[in-house]
Amino acid sequence: MSTQKIFKAVGLGEILWDLFPEGKLLGGAPANFAYHMNVLGNQGLAVSSVGSDKLGREILDTLQELGVASDYIQVNRKAATGTVRVSVTSSGEPRFSICPVGAAWDHIAWTKELEQLAAESDGLCFGSLAQRAPESRETIRRFIRSMADYTLRIFDVNLRQSYYSSSILSESLELCSVVKLNNQELPIVLDLLGLKSMEDEQDDCRLLLKAFGLDLVCLTRGAGGSMMLGGDQVVVHPGLKVEVRDTVGAGDGFTAVLAHHLLKKSPLTRVSEAANRYGAWIAGCAGATPEPNSAVLKEVV
């Protein structure tokens, strides 16, 4: 009986508390990605920084409870642990108010330990938000440059407030092998990059694919599913009906399944079906890191 290969995949960037009206939950796309990679049977690792404050200690404790190693979570004695105020609309869509620049996750330091981790990793997920400050931005880029050429490098765009720019987007696209973005972000990204929209999502995705020599462009459409373009392949998924609790973290779970199956070299149709199913399941749960569901995992792994 064959056993599944365990991939080492890193979520690099912000880690923080999502502050909901009813209480706080661990947040930050990289930490959510690492959690779901673990749930899928891999070794998911979060790389970030917290303050030496009560909120930072609570993040380290929560990671332990979730089974995510905190070995690469740095503790900064000068900066506070990051927070984001979150409100959820009647349709389950989150609205974010992010702490100003200067949080601990803006100061992820480059270390020999990170250099070694980069060389050992099979995959990486990073976004635009953690690149808003110079130190973390430089660490993210050094990490990518320290990875082997064949590794999976997913740029999960995640535009938040005003914390992005044309240079952050273009340089990230140059460094990644796969980009994931949603249908609201696509026209913004094209405009900032100076690429003229073709007025058709598939054509626009192909424009990105060719302009940056990417292996895959993944466009998510909320309840409308997704479109994935790689090489000459286009796979469209119509989405799955689900009673939405909140969509916080659904995209990060989707990205984790995307990474899992791309690392397994699964057919793109399988990648698409599994990622949509898992993302829809999370949207039907409360919070970004729900307890694993064995029936769902059997379908998506």
16-38 pLDDT, tens per residue? Answer: 998 988 899 899 999 999 999 99
Distance CA 238, CA 226 (A): 7
Distance CA 195, CA 187 (A): 9
HEC assignment per residue over the chain: CCCCCCCEEEEECCCEEEEECCEEEEECHHHHHHHHHHHCCCEEEEEEEEECCHHHHHHHHHHHHHCCCCCCEEEECCCCCEEEEEEECCCCCEEEEECCCCCHHHCCCCCHHHHHHHHHCCEEEECCHHHCCHHHHHHHHHHHHCCCCCCEEEEECCCCCCCCCHHHHHHHHHHCCEEEEECCHHHHHHHHHCCCCCCCHHHHHHHHHHHCCCCEEEEECHHHCEEEEECCEEEEECCCCCCCCCCCCHHHHHHHHHHHHHHCCCCHHHHHHHHHHHHHHHHCCCCCCCCCCHHHHHHHC
pLDDT at 233 over 50: yes
pLDDT at 192 over 90: yes
Question: How does pLDDT run across 212-230, given as a tens digit for each residue?
Answer: 999 999 999 988 999 999 9
Question: How does pLDDT run across 88-114, given as a tens digit for each residue?
Answer: 787 777 788 999 999 999 999 999 999
| Residue 91 confidence (pLDDT) | 73
Provide mean pLDDT across the span 151-177.
97
Question: How does pLDDT run across 248-285, given as a tens digit for each residue?
Answer: 889 999 999 999 999 999 999 999 999 999 999 999 99
Provide mean pLDDT across the span 190-219.
97
Distance CA 75, CA 102 (A): 14
Confidence bin at 44 (pLDDT 50/70/90): very high
Distance CA 121, CA 96 (A): 31
Instruction: Out of 86-90, 179-183, 187-191, 280-284, pick the least confident.
Output: 86-90
Total-model pTM: 0.95
Instruction: For the chain, give the mean pLDDT.
Output: 95
Rg (CA), the chain: 18
Distance CA 201, CA 251 (A): 19
Of 78, 181, 189, 85, the closest CA to residue 135 belongs to 78
Provide mean pLDDT across the span 142-149.
97
| Residue 3 confidence (pLDDT) | 66
| Residue 1 confidence (pLDDT) | 40
**Which structural domains are found in the chain, ordered by start?**
8-300 (3.40.1190.20)
pLDDT at 134 over 90: yes
Of all residues in the chain, what percent carry a pLDDT higher than 70? Answer: 99
pLDDT at 198 over 80: yes
pLDDT at 2 over 80: no
| Residue 288 confidence (pLDDT) | 85
Location of structure tokens 């635009």: 128
pLDDT at 136 over 50: yes
